[in-house]
Structure 1
Amino acid sequence: MGVGIRRGGVGDRERIVGVLDRAFMDDPVSGWVFPGVEYRRVRHSGLMGAFTDATLADGYVDLLEDDSAVALWMDVPDEPHADDGEDVPALVREAVDPDNARIEEIARLLDGVHPQGRAHTYLWMIGVAPERQGEGLGTALMAPVLDRCDRAGRPAYLEASSARSRGLYERLGFTVMDHPLQLPDGPTMWPMWREPQAG
């Protein structure tokens, strides 16, 4: 599939947040974090904005040229950076929705399953506009980064938030790690790892 991909910057923030907000509005994990459709419509974009800001600061965002899909990536070192004493999950909760403990809870749960001790590329989120899902755009957006990982001998990691996305990632060479993450009274997430593939 011939799709144009560009690197996103701060000037693209609203576009990025808009695609993620729409792409994940009906996602099972978003429904758990923000139960109730109206509540989710009001608060969800704030969390997508926090994720986008963190990635623009410390990672990189790839967008399709028509803004129909975005991917948030982070390169994770062998050893985690020294922590400056800030409680990031609590700060995100405070900034996005102080009364919603699940924002902080999911951040802590995901931190707990994220692999440590080996450098890797982390696909934090990938979102495709709902009307374009099923066209292979997510695969097209991921392919160049996974190719770079393969050439560099670098593994990749992500958490699948639905059975459908898990199937896509398995086709791209990711495998489910030891244990799925069962959110309390909520859906399952699947931490997935991809070893570099031989060309």
Structure 2
Amino acid sequence: MGVAIRTAGEDDRDLVVRLLDEAFHEDPVSRWVFPGTEHRRTAHPKLMAAFTDIVLDDGRVDVTEDGSACALWMSVPAAEHGPGAEHADDDEGPARLRAEVDPDNERVELIARLTAGVHPAGRAHAYLWMIGVAPGRQGEGLGTALIQHVLDRCDREGLPAYLEASNARSRKLYERLGYELVGEPLDLPDGPRMWPMWREPRPSGGQR
């Protein structure tokens, strides 16, 4: 049986924020950004809400019909870095994110600058910003279905895709879907490793 997927709207905002908060609360990168358990409980949802608002405004959010998983996508034009990269070297984008989410936490700003700095430029591509699956539904193929839903379109249109894997488990999933490491891994200061990954479009009918 296939997974029913629809495009989210503003009415789905709270659902998407909750899914991302639950899915990433114990993720290595989230734990690095918010190392204190109690503080992470209150600040992490604010960061997920900020990301959700950005993508609802300028990108696309897909959700499964049963509300168990979501994926946040941005369309990046040619010759640009990732979302917010135009402010990576000044105090606008990342600093504004920090002020909105957790003003005293420099890592909120730093993670935005570092990921923007490794984001490939030059070719238009689909950027998978985040994908979240409810903890009780992980391992059912929902994440794969959400990603493949967009990759099929990328293959039809000859469009590459990009993401940053935040843990080794997700990296293996992305490799199965055709993503490959691009450039060097991103080692967060005194923190975990992230893997920038790029996927070339596959010919129609190509092997998955």
Do these two structures clear the TM 0.5 threshold for a shared fold by scoring above it? yes
SS of structure 2 residue aligned to 1:26: coil
Partner of 1:120: 125
Question: Are residue 130 (structure 1) and residue 135 (structure 2) matched?
Answer: yes
Tell me which of 87, 91, 99 is aligned to 1:94: 99
Structure-to-structure mapping, 1:102-113, within 5 angstroms: 102-113=107-118
Question: Are residue 196 (structure 1) and residue 201 (structure 2) matched?
Answer: yes
Q: Take 2:40 and 2:86, find their aligned partners in 1: how far apart are those partners? A: 31
Q: Take 1:12 and 1:171, find their aligned partners in 2: how far apart are those partners? A: 29
Query: Structure 1 residues 75-84 or 174-183, which shifts more?
Result: 75-84
**Residue 38 of structure 1 aligns to which amino acid in structure 2?**
E
Tell me which of 127, 139, 143 is aligned to 2:148: 143
Question: Are residue 18 (structure 1) and residue 27 (structure 2) matched?
Answer: no
Question: Are residue 153 (structure 1) and residue 158 (structure 2) matched?
Answer: yes
Partner of 2:62: 62
Q: Take 1:83 and 1:180, find their aligned partners in 2: how far apart are those partners? A: 22
Q: Take 2:182 and 2:150, find their aligned partners in 1: how far apart are those partners? A: 21
Tell me which of 168, 172, 180 is aligned to 1:175: 180
SS of structure 1 residue aligned to 2:71: strand
Q: Take 1:36 and 1:177, find their aligned partners in 2: how far apart are those partners? A: 32
**Residue 144 of structure 2 aligns to which amino acid in structure 1?**
T
Provide structure 2 residue ranges, at least 5 long, that are not aligned to the other structure. Answer: none
TM-score normalised by L of structure 1 = 0.97
Which consecutive aligned stretches of 4+ in structure 1 deviate over 4 angstroms post-superposition?
81-86
Q: Take 2:162 and 2:35, find their aligned partners in 1: how far apart are those partners? A: 27
Partner of 1:48: 48
What per-residue deviation string (whole Å, max 9, x for no partner) do you get for residues 53-102 of structure 1? 00001000000011110000001001339958871100000000000000
Provide structure 1 residue ranges, at least 5 long, that are not aligned to the other structure. Answer: none
Q: Take 2:200 and 2:174, find their aligned partners in 1: how far apart are those partners? A: 13
**Residue 30 of structure 1 aligns to which amino acid in structure 2?**
S
Partner of 1:166: 171
Q: Take 1:133 and 1:30, find their aligned partners in 2: how far apart are those partners? A: 18
Q: Take 2:138 and 2:148, find their aligned partners in 1: how far apart are those partners? A: 16
Q: Alpha-carbon deviation of 1:37?
A: 1.5
Q: Take 2:149 and 2:117, find their aligned partners in 1: how far apart are those partners? A: 28
What per-residue deviation string (whole Å, max 9, x for no partner) do you get for residues 15-37 of structure 1? 00000000000100000000021
Q: Take 2:118 and 2:161, find their aligned partners in 1: how far apart are those partners? A: 14
Q: Take 2:177 and 2:29, find their aligned partners in 1: how far apart are those partners? A: 22
Partner of 1:34: 34
**Residue 110 of structure 1 aligns to which amino acid in structure 2?**
T
Q: Take 1:26 and 1:80, find their aligned partners in 2: how far apart are those partners? A: 31
Number of residue pairs the alignment of both structures matches: 199
Q: Take 2:26 and 2:68, find their aligned partners in 1: how far apart are those partners? A: 17
Partner of 1:6: 6
